[in-house]
Amino acid sequence: MGYYDDEKVSRTVLAYVAIGLIVAAFCLILTNFGTYKRWGETAETESATEIITTEAIITPLSENRQAVTEIALEEPETDSEAITVHTLSIETETEAEPETETEAEEYIEFVVTAYCPCEKCCGKWANNRPTDDSGDPIVYTASGERAVQGVTIAADTSILPFGTKVSINENVYTVHDRGGAIKGNRIDIYFETHEEAGSFGRQILPVEIIEIGGQTK
């Protein structure tokens, strides 16, 4: 009876030990499973973090590449457009030149007669004239210039000094001569013959003074 009881106790102890080992093993398994699960969650979190980080890096890079691509695709403004704008600006700022007012032509009325180198017209000054190679007389005026038809006139040199240029009937004459009867607003036009001088007669004509005494008016 005593031996039996001891053996029963031993079996009971072994049973408890076995149960304890089983429980310990089960707890160890649970512990390892929790660790593995936490490791799995951590790994997933790190993986998700890496994915998010990668996407965060890739997204701006993609946007930057897209922005660079869009910039590269934009066509630069051509110089011709700038030139066109500059030309328009110049055209806008250009001012028209003011029109110059032409001076009104001033005419003075003169009594205009005619003379020739004959004694009737020139008196004593017609005598003893020098002659040219053809025997024609050379008529020198009071200014020392040679008289030329269509150019020479006599005038009152106190009003129109020698060298003065005037326009009569659209012809320009120069004051080369003077005379005792030529006073005030009177001009004597030189002709080669008395007939031409007589034909001209006596006229009242508008006279434009172009230069006075060789100086521009």
Average pLDDT, the chain: 75
pLDDT value of position 38: 60
- For residue 98, pLDDT over 80 is answered with no
CA–CA gap between residue 195 and residue 202 (Å, rounded): 14
DSSP at 123:
G
- For residue 194, pLDDT over 90 is answered with yes
Task: State the average pLDDT over residues 11-34.
Answer: 78
CA–CA gap between residue 109 and residue 86 (Å, rounded): 57
CA–CA gap between residue 191 and residue 198 (Å, rounded): 9
Of residues 1 and 134, which shows the higher confidence score? Answer: 134
Q: Which residue in 26, 46, 179 sits closest to 115, CA to CA?
A: 179
3-state secondary structure of 190: strand
Q: What phi and psi, each to the nearest 5 degrees, are found at residue 108?
A: -120, 135
What global pTM score does this model have? 0.51
Residue with tokens 């965060």: 56
Per-residue pLDDT tens digits for 43-97? 555 554 454 444 554 455 455 555 444 544 454 454 444 444 444 444 445 455 5
CA–CA gap between residue 76 and residue 144 (Å, rounded): 81
Per-residue pLDDT tens digits for 23-54? 888 777 777 666 555 655 555 555 544 544 44
